Structure 1
C-alpha cells in the first residue's frame, strides 16, 4: 500500500485582517525589510508567509484594506477590486445618499455604476455589473443596503448627549491642543445685486466665479493653519501672469472642476494636519459633512497625533466653533471687496472685470491672519462648547463700514437693485452642505481634469513682469523712508525692512556674479 503523499504545499489562507495588519506594520516601519516583515508576521499570527505574498499584499492591489482600517476588516478572503476608482466613487455616493435619506438598492447601485463609468473610465466598454460583482463590492466596502430614516441630522436630545461627552474629553486637552475646521464657499466676483443671489444671469457668468475655503485654528487663536483654497484650475491665470508661487502666500491650493471639497481632498488634508502635529497629541473637531466622514473613515488608523471628533449636526444646538469664526472672516473679506468695487467704479473701471483670483486669495489670507483677532476665536469656541458661555463679540464697526459702502453704491447708481446687508453677507449658495442636487457632481468632480478650466472668465488682464532686485530695493527704501519720517515710527517694522533689504541685496549680488560682473 502506497502511503499518501505529504501535503508539502498546503498553506493556510491569509485573512484580510492579517493582510491589513501587515500593511499597517509596513506603513509604521517603511524601512523594514521583507524578511523582517515575514518574521514579524510569523510571530504575530503563528503562520508562515513567503516573500511573494508579502510583495503582493503591500502592492496597490490591496490598498482598499487601508481604507477599511477604520472599520472591522472582515476575516474572509475577498478579491481586490478590479475598478478601485469606481468603487471609491460609489462608496462616497452611498454615504452622501444615506445622509440625504435616499432609497438604496442593488439595482440603484448598478445604475449609478453605469452612470459613473464613462466619466471615470472614458472610452472603455461599460461592464454588465453582475450580481456577483455587486455582492463582492458590498462585502469589500462593508455596505449594508437598507432604508435610512432621519440619518441627515441628530435630534436635539442626541446632540446634547454627544456634546456632554465631547466636553468631558476636551477637558483633558490644553486649549492650544483643541482644533476645529470648517469650510465655506465664496463667490469672489459677485456684485451685491439682489437677483444675482438667487439665480444665474445669462452673460454674467463671471459673477458666479466660486472657490471653496477651509479654515482651521486652535481654541485660543495661537495657531492658525494655512487656509486651503479649492478652485477650478491647477494654477489660475492670475497667478501665472503675476509669476506668483501660490505656496509663497501662506496657503494650500487644490482644484477640481466644481471647486468643491471632496473626500479625497479632505483625506489629504487630514494626513497633512496630522503630520504637522508631530510630537503632540491634539483633538480636531469636524462636522458631519459627508466628505469629512468618508475621509476620516479611510485614514482613521493612520492618524498618529490627532483624535478626530465628529460634532453633532443639529439646527437647535449649533456647536461648530469655526462656523461663527468663518462668518466673521467673511465680513472682513466682503468689506474689502466692497471697498474695491467703490474705488474701481470711481476710476471708471468695472470691478467684475479687473478683479482677479489672486486679489481674492490675498484678501482672504490677510483677513484670516491679520484682521481676525484671537478674542473672537476664543469667544466662538467658548460659545460652541460651553453651554453657559455668553458670546461677547462686537463687530458694529465692520457692519457700519459695509452699510456705508452699500449705500454709496446705491447713491451713485452703480447697482440697480442693491442687496441689503444680510443678503450681502449671508449668500445661501456659499454654505457648504450635503445638497441632494450636487451629489453626483461632487463625487465625480475628483475624476475630472481641472487643468483647462480657469478661475478667470476675462482674459484681458496683462501679464505682470517679474520684479527685479533693483526695483524691489528701491521700493523697500521708499517704504522704510516713509516710516522713518513719521512722528512715531514703527521701529520693529523699520528693522524688519532693513533685514529684508539685506536679503534682496544678496540676491542682487548673486545676479551680478552669475552674469560675470563684480557687485562692487
Structure 2
C-alpha cells in the first residue's frame, strides 16, 4: 500500500492549509486512492490502527524535513513572477487565464448556530457533495458548475435528461473528485466552452488553466490541447492566491445557504415542521439552488479574486 500512503501524504500536504483534516477524512481518502490505483488488498480497511502507523511515519517525515504547516509564501512569490512572465510572453489577456477549485458542500447543514442547536439531536445527517467552479480572470466567463454526488442515477433526477440539468452531474462513491472526472471535465467541458468563448471575442485559441496539483489530478502534460493547457500551483499556496478559493467559494456557499434557509422560513416556529421540511430537500433542489447561486455571483467578485496573483 506504499502508493496509497505516498498519495495520501502528498494530498495531506497540499490540503492542510485549507483547514483541519480529521482522521476519518484521511481514512476515506486512503480508501479512495486504493480504489483509484486498483491496489489489490481486499483486507485493507484504512483502519484506525493503519492511520496511527501512517501518521507516526508520515508526520515524522514532515518534522525531519523541517516543513512548516504555514502557507508557502516564497513559492507563491516565485509562482506569481512566473505567471506574469508567461502571460506577457504569450500575450494572454485576462479572458484567457482561468482557474478552478472544488469545495465540499454539506447541503442540509443548517445555516446558523441557532437553527443547528434547535435540531441538533434529530436533524437529518449531513449529506455531502463536491462542487467544481471555474471562471476566467476578468469574470466574464463562468463555466457551468460540475456537481459530484454519490449516486449514478439519483432518484431526484428521474425523468430529467442530464442535459436539462443546470449543472454537469458526475458521480463518485465518496462524492469526491478523481483523476477520471478531472480529465473528462477538462476535455469535454472546459475545452469546448473556452474555445467557443474565445471565438466569440475573436481571440486566439490560447489559454491557461491554473489548478491545484493534487493526487486526484492527471499529470500536467496530460491536460493540454494545442495552446490550451494546465499549470499546477506549487504546494501550500492556495490560501495565498488561488483565485476561486479567494472568497468566491465562500460567497457561493452563503448564497446557497440563503436559499436553503428561505425554504425553512415558513415553518421556522415549528420544530418538527422545520425538520420535516429539511428532510424533503433533495439533489434536484440542491443543483438548482447552487446553479442559481453561481449565476448570482457578480463579474466584479470573480475579477477581484485574482488581485493577489495577477
TM-score (norm 1): 0.43
1:184 match: secondary structure: strand
Is 1:268 matched up with 2:193? no
Q: Which residue of 2 aligns with 1:356?
A: 282
Determine if contact 1:190/1:196 at 8 Å carries over to the other structure: no
Cα deviation for residue 120 of structure 1 reads 5.1
Corresponding residue for residue 166 of structure 2 = 250
* Structure (1/2) with the larger strand percentage: 2
Counterpart in 2 of 1:180? 99
Report the RMSD for the aligned CA atoms in angstroms: 3.7
1:236 maps onto 2:148 in alignment: no
User: C-alpha deviations, 1:302-321, integer Å up to 9, x for none?
Assistant: 53342312223446961011
Cα distance change, pair 122–318 in 1 and its aligned pair in 2 (3 A): closer
**1:311 corresponds to which residue?**
233
The corresponding residue for 1:283 is 208
What CA distance in whole angstroms lies between the structure 2 residues aligned with 1:151 and 1:95?
Answer: 19
Q: Distance in 2 between matches of 1:162 and 1:303?
A: 23
Summarize the Cα distance change of 1:154–1:376 in structure 2 as closer, same or farther, 3 Å threshold: closer
User: Within 5 Å, which residues of 2 pair with 1:94-493?
Assistant: 94-100=6-12, 116=34, 149=65, 150=67, 155-171=72-88, 172-192=91-111, 194=113, 204=123, 206-240=124-158, 243-272=159-188, 273-278=190-195, 280-292=205-217, 295-297=218-220, 299-300=222-223, 302-314=224-236, 318-323=240-245, 324-345=247-268, 348=273, 350-369=276-295, 371-381=296-306, 383-386=307-310
Q: How many residues align?
A: 256
Q: Contact 2:166 / 2:288 at 8 angstroms: preserved in 1?
A: no
TM-fit CA distance, 1:275? 4.5
| Mapped contact 1:180–1:216 kept (Cα < 8 A) | yes
Give deviations 1:85-131, integer Å, cap 9, x for gaps: xxxx9756533324547xxxxxxxxxx99x958x95899999xxxxx
Distance change >3 Å, CA 353–CA 265, structure 1 → 2: same
Cα 1:234–1:164 change in 2 (3 A) is same
Corresponding residue SS for 1:352: helix
Q: Secondary structure at the match of 1:306?
A: strand
1:185-204 deviation line (CA, Å, top 9, x unaligned): 1111112464998xxx7764
Cα shift readout 1:386-442 (whole Å, capped 9, x = no counterpart): 4xxxxxxxxxxxxxxxxxxxxxxxxxxxxxxxxxxxxxxxxxxxxxxxxxxxxxxxx
Three-state SS of the structure 2 residue aligned to 1:208 is coil
Q: Contact conserved, 1:179 with 1:284, CA < 8 A, in 2?
A: yes
TM-score with structure 2 setting the length: 0.69
SS in 1 for 2:258: helix
Q: Are the structure 2 counterparts of residues 173 and 210 from structure 1 closer, same or farther at C-alpha, using a change threshold of 3 Å?
A: same
Higher relative contact order (CA 8 A, sep 6+): 2
CA deviations on 1:63-98 (whole Å, 9 max, x unpaired) are: xxxxxxxxxxxxxxxxxxxxxxxxxx9756533324
For structure 2, the 5+ residue unaligned runs are 14-29, 45-60, 196-203
- 1:505 — aligned with what? none
Tell me how far apart the structure 2 counterparts of residues 346 and 246 of structure 1 sit (CA, whole Å): 37
Q: Distance in 2 between matches of 1:178 and 1:270?
A: 14
**In structure 1, how many angstroms separate the alpha carbons of the residues matched to 2:11 and 2:294?**
31
